[in-house]
Structure 1
């Protein structure tokens, strides 16, 4: 059964990778979507592509680290479609470095996007969902939020934060307001992240790890599964990883 038909979703980090694959997968199930990302040209190209199939998808350029922009995103979704039923908090950064490298720029970027960015988006949509007395917040987590890998200390810490935050939301928002909250925890996914690691040794480790990666579409299918449940069912955390990943 398709519980997603005509729902309104806001998807962040939507211009590429898991975000773009999620937009495509949700659009195929009749979801009306506001797709947000910081890369406006790539975002517009993706939306044009998906829209050719008749889907209702609109782009909204936004930096999730900017609370004014995320509030504008929520307001735009409400103005365009009259509601916000789903938030897919997906925009994120995975940057590897060793502690002795003291890569503070990378640390701060991950905290700003992976933690503050998620909180900004939640703060923007949550009042609408409380008013509607319904909603679903899906936070993209990671297997790194379950166990810590070498050279990924700050990234793992940011994803442990997401796990803890979501469990708290589930217990409060789900129980008291009927607003579902859950996480998807991907393993190694080929989103081009490995080439974005600025630390040379970290980049080498990331590229080696990426050899076993699965596709963003695999994760998007998991997102659809988690979202496409009856209102009284919450998939708390769904781990999806490559068969050959040994952690």
Structure 2
């Protein structure tokens, strides 16, 4: 399969300042995509844009809190105003402050819901009018293997990722029924070496997760390749789910 279906596409990527988002942005840009990058850390975003443009790619960035609908609307407008079209959005922003329920870290629970659930809803709400009008578009989202099975310390995080699974699947089905040709791809990564562990404040959960990732973790570029594969598929084909992780991890 060639890269012809990526070349020239305009793709919004959230959570693009590091990890999977940054790796995906750089890979897609290297294959001819025009990437529109969003995250809260504008300084890191601008560095990613600089890296891409210095390599001859096309990239712009917009400071973005996915939990704020207006921010999502603004990055869609930026993509359309700058590049004149929008082909895909990769909803990748996420938090994973794992902890046992009994620790009652309720502030972290609500922040996970804000970013991992509301952020996905806001991103879809921002792009859907454009995708429906043009009768094409691709929505990709990062769930987790914790969105496929339950794990101790992951009740709320896993719950948010189960939501992504359900929402994306219904979006795919309804789009097919409505004839809008909107495709979806939900990714379920296992241990991928990103900054995700930095948000864990519970000492026991942090220690256990750190040991797990040190043993099994693989590079975020592996997930970027899967995103590129999904975006490169012909317009009449969708692969709606990808479970991806280290070959030696028994997730």
TM-score bucket of the superposed structures, by smaller chain: over 0.9
Residue 219 (str. 1) matches residue 238 (str. 2): no
Name the residue aligned to 1:110: 112
Residue 121 (str. 1) matches residue 102 (str. 2): no
What are the superposed Cα offsets for residues 81-115 of structure 1, whole Å, 9 maximum, x if unpaired?
A: 11111000000011110011011011111100000
2:146 & 2:100 partners in 1: Cα distance? 16
Structure 2 gap segments, 5+ residues each? none
Name the residue aligned to 2:14: 12
2:58 & 2:102 partners in 1: Cα distance? 48
SS of 1:30's partner is coil
Residue 59 (str. 1) matches residue 52 (str. 2): no
Structure 1 gap segments, 5+ residues each? none
**What's the offset of the Cα at 1:120?**
0.4
2:142 & 2:222 partners in 1: Cα distance? 14
Select the residue among 194, 198, 202 that pairs with 2:201. 198
Name the residue aligned to 1:238: 242
**What's the offset of the Cα at 1:196?**
2.3
**What's the offset of the Cα at 1:41?**
0.5
**What's the offset of the Cα at 1:174?**
3.1
1:196 & 1:160 partners in 2: Cα distance? 20
5 Å-filtered alignment, 1:95-174, equals: 95-174=97-176
1:113 & 1:206 partners in 2: Cα distance? 21
Is the 8 Å Cα contact of residues 18 and 217 (structure 1) preserved in structure 2?
yes
Residue 182 (str. 1) matches residue 163 (str. 2): no
What are the superposed Cα offsets for residues 16-73 of structure 1, whole Å, 9 maximum, x if unpaired?
A: 0000000011101100111111001111011101110111100111110111111111
CA RMSD of the aligned region, Å?
A: 0.9
1:170 & 1:15 partners in 2: Cα distance? 28
TM, length-normalised to structure 2: 0.96
1:145 & 1:210 partners in 2: Cα distance? 18
1:245 & 1:94 partners in 2: Cα distance? 19
1:163 & 1:19 partners in 2: Cα distance? 19
Is the 8 Å Cα contact of residues 195 and 207 (structure 1) preserved in structure 2?
no
Number of equivalenced pairs:
247
**What's the offset of the Cα at 1:203?**
1.1
Is the 8 Å Cα contact of residues 98 and 151 (structure 1) preserved in structure 2?
yes
